[in-house]
Amino acid sequence: MGNTNDIKEILSVKSISNSTAPVGVFDSGVGGLTVAREIMRQLPCENIVYFGDTARVPYGSKSKNNIIRFSEQIIRFLKTKGVKAIVIACNTASALALEAVQEETDIPILGVIAPGARAAVQATENGIIGVAGTEATIQSEMYTRVIRKMDPGAVVIGKPCPLFVPLVEEGFAKHRITEEVIDIYLADMKKTDIDTMILGCTHYPLLRSRIKAYFGEKVHIVNPAYETAMDLKKVLAERGIENLSGKAASYEFYVSDAAEKFTRFANGILSYDVAATRLVNIEEY
């Protein structure tokens, strides 16, 4: 009898510590903060450990092998922080590394492609969907594959928009030059019949209002971040590891380079005050 109670107690302690354990969120740099921001809004009790691979950004021009290697290192690092689940906020890493790392890891790992694809399939009326992303994401055709699994008749038109990333990072989101770059990349897409457009890169939601204005009311703009946060909520609930403590969450931020620049950027887009970002030598993991 005593033994049974001991076991029950151990199990309940384990589930308490599992549920209050943080969620790991990672990206190639600052862009994944758009996903972390959505998790903070939708799951306000979940503690978060964020890692931005600022030393090796951009991932969008790197090979699949390297993106898998980087993702594996980051997952090993996040596991040292005791995370109970991981969200790959980066579209490029979700497209190229998610399947590989899911096979190797014993905790839930979610990407942003399936949630973004699902939101687009739900939003489209004519089944013609545009995707803007990095070179690697568009070349992988992962959005096309996932969308077609959900709606085999869908037409997906992809467009790499690599300059959007530095424009956002340089604080040029509202600059007139960004309007020109949007036109250069997306003029052909605008001539098609898309009625839905996926912002398939972490940085693009920070250009949402510009892109929305460019396409006009007839095109529905999808930011995968909201659906990703909802997927996370579902996975945590299914496993009984959602944080039900009712306490305000705590957040930790780590990067592989340029910590101060990251802190400034984070404070520009999060409503949470990021006091400090810590440096990690990610090649050690």
From the list 145, 123, 149, the residue with the least C-alpha distance to 224 is 123
Which helix H or strand E contains 197, and what residues bound it? strand 196-200
- Residue closer to ligand DGL, measured from CB, 20 or 202: 202
Under 8 Å between Cβ of 245 and 45: yes
In the three-class reduction of DSSP (H, G, I as helix; E, B as strand; rest coil), residue 158 is classed as: strand
- Least Å distance between CB 62 and ligand DGL? 8
- Torsion over CA: 75, 277, 52, 43 (sign): positive
Please give the residue whose beta carbon sits closest to ligand DGL in the complex.
60
34 binds ligand DGL (CB under 6 A): no
- Residue closer to ligand DGL, measured from CB, 74 or 90: 90
203 binds ligand DGL (CB under 6 A): yes
- Least Å distance between CB 271 and ligand DGL? 21
In the three-class reduction of DSSP (H, G, I as helix; E, B as strand; rest coil), residue 273 is classed as: coil
Q: Is 201 a catalytic residue?
A: yes
Cα 159 to Cα 62, 96, 114, 122, 267, distances in angstroms: 17, 17, 18, 21, 30
The alpha-helical segments, DSSP class H, found in 151-247 are 164-169, 176-190, 208-215, 224-238
- Least Å distance between CB 204 and ligand DGL? 8
- Least Å distance between CB 89 and ligand DGL? 7
Under 8 Å between Cβ of 37 and 50: no
Residue range at the interface with ligand DGL (CB under 6 A); choices 55-63, 66-74, 250-258, 276-284: 55-63
201 binds ligand DGL (CB under 6 A): yes
Subset of 108-147 contacting ligand DGL (CB under 6 A): 134, 137
Q: Is 90 a catalytic residue?
A: yes
Q: Of 48, 109, 201, 249, which residue is the catalytic one?
A: 201
Q: Of 90, 97, 142, 236, which residue is the catalytic one?
A: 90
Subset of 59-98 contacting ligand DGL (CB under 6 A): 59-60, 90-92
From the list 12, 34, 35, the residue with the least C-alpha distance to 86 is 35
Active site residues: 90, 201
Q: List contacts with ligand DGL (CB under 6 A).
A: 27-28, 31, 57-60, 90-92, 134, 137, 165, 201-203
